[in-house]
């Protein structure tokens, strides 16, 4: 196997240092945002659900939609999981 002269070898050290620095900054920024994020609560999800219901153009569907929000709220208070029908996520505070 033939070795390349020093002038033709790729210089990877500066690239590796910049990638490592960018990764470290990204982790620090991500960790900072997560550390100070407010915990999600079942009650907050219910408010969001009801606000979404109120945006409906068909006014006759709003009462049923709000009732479904209440049912989802009850389930969330028991399990800590919110199920929007499209997405389910857990770990919410039961408040």
Q: Do the domain assignments include residue 74? A: yes
Q: Do the domain assignments include residue 56? A: yes
Q: Do the domain assignments include residue 85? A: yes
Q: Do the domain assignments include residue 69? A: yes
DSSP secondary structure code for residue 60 in this structure:
G
Q: Do the domain assignments include residue 34? A: no
What is the rounded CA–CA span in Å between residue 81 and residue 52? 19
Average pLDDT, whole number, for the chain? 78
pLDDT (0 to 100) of residue 28: 56
What is the rounded CA–CA span in Å between residue 47 and residue 70? 10
pLDDT (0 to 100) of residue 34: 47
What is the rounded CA–CA span in Å between residue 68 and residue 44? 15
pTM, full prediction:
0.57
Residues in the chain: 95
Domains held by the chain: number: 1
Q: Do the domain assignments include residue 60? A: yes
What is the rounded CA–CA span in Å between residue 84 and residue 93? 16
Q: Do the domain assignments include residue 30? A: no
Q: Do the domain assignments include residue 35? A: no
| Domain hosting residue 79, numbered range | 42-90
Quick one: tokens of 15? 């690239």
Q: What is the pLDDT of residues 67-88, one digit of tens each?
A: 999 999 999 999 999 998 889 9
């Amino acid at each position: 196997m033939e070795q390349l002269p020093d002038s033709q070898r790729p210089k990877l050290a500066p690239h590796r240092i910049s990638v490592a620095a960018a990764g470290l900054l990204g982790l620090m920024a991500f960790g900072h945002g997560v550390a100070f994020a407010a915990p999600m609560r079942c009650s907050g999800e219910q408010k969001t659900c009801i606000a979404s219901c109120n945006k409906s153009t068909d006014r006759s569907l709003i009462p049923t939609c709000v009732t479904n929000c209440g049912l989802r709220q009850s389930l969330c208070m028991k399990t800590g999981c919110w199920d929007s029908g499209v997405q389910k996520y857990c770990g919410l505070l039961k408040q």
